[in-house]
Amino acid sequence: MGSPLRVLIVEDNAHFAATLRNSLEIEGFVVDIAPTVSQGLRQVFEAPPGLVILNSMLPGDDGFELLRTLRASGSDVPVIVLTARRDEQEKLHGFGLGADDFMTQPVHLLELLARIRALVRRAHPAFAAPAPRWIRFGDIELCAPARTVKRNGHVVELRPKEFDLLLALFRQHDRVVSRAELLRDVWGYDATTVSRTVDTHMAGLRVKLEADPLHPRHLLSVRTAGYLLRLEPEL
C-alpha cells in the first residue's frame, strides 16, 4: 500500500476540527487543518489532499471560493461541504460548483465519518482498507478500522454501541464529554433527549475493560459534567 491518504479540513471551529482530525487519524488518514480559506488554498497546492472537508461559512470568508478555485484548476478531489444554512439554494449552488456531498451543521460525527469512507471508497479504492492501527492505553488496545478491543492481549467482545461509546470518548480523550454530546454523537439523539443509556453502556464498558470497575483508572465519571477517558491514569 502507498502513502496514507491526506485529508484537509478547512474549519475555524478548533475543537470540532481537532476532534475530526483525531477520528480520521485513528482510521489511518494524514490530516491537515486550515482555519481560513486563504490557508486552505495554500495547503491545497503545497500538499495536495485526497479529500477536502470544507465549512462554507468561515468568518470573513466565502468557503465556496476554495471549491471554485479547486475546480478551476482542474482538480477533481472529493469535497464534502459543511453548512449551517438549511437553504436548498445553497446546496444547489455548491453542487453546481462541484461539491460531492453536503452536511448541515451541527454535524453528527459518525454520519460524517461514514460519508467520508464512502467517498474514499469511490475516489481512492486502493485506500479503502487502511492497515489496522492499534492504540494502546494501560492494558487496553483499540483498533478502530477492525472495531476490535483487547485487554491484556485478549479480545473483549463489546456490543456495537459500547464500542462506539469507547471510540467517541477516545476521540476527545482527556476532555470531559457531556452526556448530551455522547447521546448526539453515538446514538444520534437531539439535545432534548433524556436517557440513562450512556450510564448503562459506560457501566458495561467498565466491567469489561477495567481491572476494578468500581474504581476505574481510564473510564471516569465527572460529577454533573459527563465522562472522561484518561489515557494515562493519575498515580
136: its cell numbers:
494502546
> Residue 1 — pLDDT band, cuts 50, 70, 90?
very low
Range of the domain at 45: 6-127
Q: Are residues 10 and 109 in the same domain?
A: yes
Question: Model pTM?
Answer: 0.70
Q: Are residues 170 and 101 in the same domain?
A: no
The answer to whether 53 touches 74, Cβ cutoff 8 Å, is no
> Residues 60-110: pLDDT tens digits?
778 899 999 999 999 999 999 998 887 788 888 889 999 999 998 888 888
H helix intervals, the chain: 14-26, 37-46, 64-72, 88-97, 109-123, 160-171, 179-182, 197-209
Does 120 map to a domain? yes
How does the average pLDDT of the chain come out, rounded? 88
Q: Are residues 123 and 35 in the same domain?
A: yes
Q: Positive or negative CA dihedral for 189, 112, 100, 56? A: positive
Q: Are residues 114 and 147 in the same domain?
A: no
List Cα–Cα distances, 105 to 111, 123, 148, in angstroms: 12, 24, 30
- pLDDT of residue 235 exceeding 50, the answer is no
List CB contacts of 98: < 8 A, sequence separation 6 or more: 67, 70, 71, 79
